[in-house]
Amino acid sequence: MNDALQQQILIAEHPQKKNDPSNGSGAVDERDREKRMAKVTMTVNGKSVSGEVEGRTLLSSFLREGLGLTGTHVGCDTSQCGACVVHVDGVAAKACSVLAMDVAGSTVTTIEAMHNPDGSLGVVQQAFQDHHGLQCGFCTPGMVMTAAALLAETPKPTEHEVRHALEGNICRCTGYHNIVKAVMAASGQPVSAE
């Protein structure tokens, strides 16, 4: 079998390798890799961090794989579920739809920094625990980050405002009732005992 035919078969069996610079050999020219890399520096959870990233590296990947901050969950990779919400310069952002290079120089806050200075749960986290605003916990980091951003902007939201803010976050377990109660409680407002 000639090399051209072997390459076509490889591409047919593994379409993701079509643009592989190794041309199926498995060896990537290190210079090609270096050309695609860029250094990014940002402040994450109060600490200056730097790393080498490709232009296509998502913020969620940089946080999880580059920095080991795995509290930022990736549920859909399409910006639908909200499990990856972080704060970029104080604004809630879905880390699976933001390139790491685009937030260079920014301040990023993840769920890992939402606790109190003494290490105890932060107000929003404690409200989620107290009001059973979680079950499996997969969506919880994104919910907490979205709720915290809402409360920073609107300290005493109505239930409608809470529900509207959480529209971009999907929970497949709770039915949202207790999540809304938790956010209302975190705002210091009374919640029903139901």
Summarize pLDDT for 93-133 with one digit per residue, the tens: 999 999 999 999 999 999 999 999 999 999 999 999 999 99
Indicate the DSSP class of residue 191.
Answer: -
Q: Is residue 10 part of a domain?
A: no
Q: Are residues 95 and 119 in the same domain?
A: no
Residue showing tokens 């009374």? 190
Q: Mean pLDDT for the chain?
A: 88
Q: Which of 112, 138, 163 is the last residue of a domain?
A: 112
pLDDT tens digits, 51-80: 999 999 999 999 999 999 999 999 998 889
**pTM recorded for the entire structure:** 0.81
Q: Is residue 118 part of a domain?
A: yes
Question: Domain of 163?
Answer: 114-186
| Between 27 and 5, residue with greater pLDDT | 27
Determine the average pLDDT of the residues in 10-19: 47
**Residue closest to 100 by CA, chosen among 46, 146, 61, 49:** 61
**Do 101 and 40 contact (CB within 8 A), yes or no?**
yes
Determine the average pLDDT of the residues in 160-171: 96
- Measure the CA angle with vertex 112, ends 107 and 113; round to 5°: 55
Three-class SS of 40-103 = EEEEECCEEEEEEEECCCEHHHHHHHHCCCCCCCCCCCCCCCCCCEEEECCEEEEHHHCEHHHH
